[in-house]
Amino acid sequence: MKTKPSLAVLGGTGDLGSGLALRWLEAGYAVVIGSRDREKAAAACVQLRGTLAERGIDDVKLTDMDNVAAADAADIVVLTVPFSHQQSTLAAVKDHLNGKILVDVTVPLVPPKVGTVQLPPSGSAGQAAQAFLGDSVRVVSAFQNVAADHLKSGHELNCDVLVCGNDPEARTAVVTLVEACGMRGFQAGPISNAAAAEALTSVLITINRQFKCHAGIRITGV
């Protein structure tokens, strides 16, 4: 059996990042919470340990670091910062990503109209990340359509995850991470297809506003 890769969640102090970290910790992965501000990362870890302790889980592999140290320490790096910080965060950690998988979770929402699709000139945040990092980093886009509230809850997740990236092996590794969270991951094509999942987030926000809910998607007919 393969050992589990270690994970760094950059921007792991946010709702989505800590929700993902929670699921991975429950599944036995070693997780580093990264933040620009190490103290915030430490505070997020205290909260995560508290939530897990309430669920009867005390023995977790969880540490806090600043983003650069976190990216350096982990096998797979997960980026969950707001879109406006995507570029600056990648610039800070770029030198520590060589040969690694970068899971891009950012969604190019442009406030205040976050319910309106406004994809960037590069086509998608995923493509922007891949273009910026170059071929030595395998960018895989995922988790854009999962509500943080659902991740943080202990309940079963009723949504699927679209996994896009140019490297099939990297996509497969990320599908495994999706399954570790308790969801189905679909290999959804090259990194340019990240546009679909990213655009869908604004659609889901529009639906959430109508129904006061946290909507997701399921692939049917498979």
Using CB under 8 A, list all residues that contact a copy of itself.
Answer: 115-119, 123, 147, 150, 158-159, 162, 164, 186-190, 192-193, 195-197, 199-200, 202-204, 206-207, 210-211, 213-222
Instruction: Name which of 51 and 118 has its Cβ closer to a copy of itself.
Output: 118
Q: Residue 187 CB, nearest distance to a copy of itself (Å)?
A: 7
- Which residues, 6+ apart, have CB-to-CB distance to 64 below 8 Å? 32, 33, 34, 35, 38, 41, 42, 44, 45
Q: Residue 75 CB, nearest distance to a copy of itself (Å)?
A: 26
Instruction: Name which of 92 and 196 has its Cβ closer to a copy of itself.
Output: 196
Candidates 17, 12, 25, 78; CA nearest to 51 is 25
Q: Residue 14 CB, nearest distance to a copy of itself (Å)?
A: 20
How far apart CA 126 and CA 140 sit, in angstroms, is 7
Task: Classify residue 79 by burial, with Cβ atoms within 10 Å: 0-12, 13-18, 19+.
Answer: buried
Number of other CB atoms surrounding residue 198 within 10 Å: 29
Candidates 73, 89, 88; CA nearest to 10 is 89
Separation in Å, CA 26 to CA 50, 186, 213, 221: 13, 22, 25, 30
Instruction: Name which of 182 and 190 has its Cβ closer to a copy of itself.
Output: 190
Instruction: Name which of 67 and 130 has its Cβ closer to a copy of itself.
Output: 130
Beta bridge partners of 77: 8, 102
Instruction: Name which of 71 and 215 has its Cβ closer to a copy of itself.
Output: 215
Instruction: Name which of 23 and 150 has its Cβ closer to a copy of itself.
Output: 150
Bridge-based pairing of strands 138-141 and 160-165 is antiparallel
Number of other CB atoms surrounding residue 184 within 10 Å: 14
Q: Residue 110 CB, nearest distance to a copy of itself (Å)?
A: 11
Instruction: Name which of 87 and 187 has its Cβ closer to a copy of itself.
Output: 187
Q: Residue 198 CB, nearest distance to a copy of itself (Å)?
A: 9
- The token pair at 199 is 């655009």
Q: Residue 215 CB, nearest distance to a copy of itself (Å)?
A: 5
Q: Residue 82 CB, nearest distance to a copy of itself (Å)?
A: 20
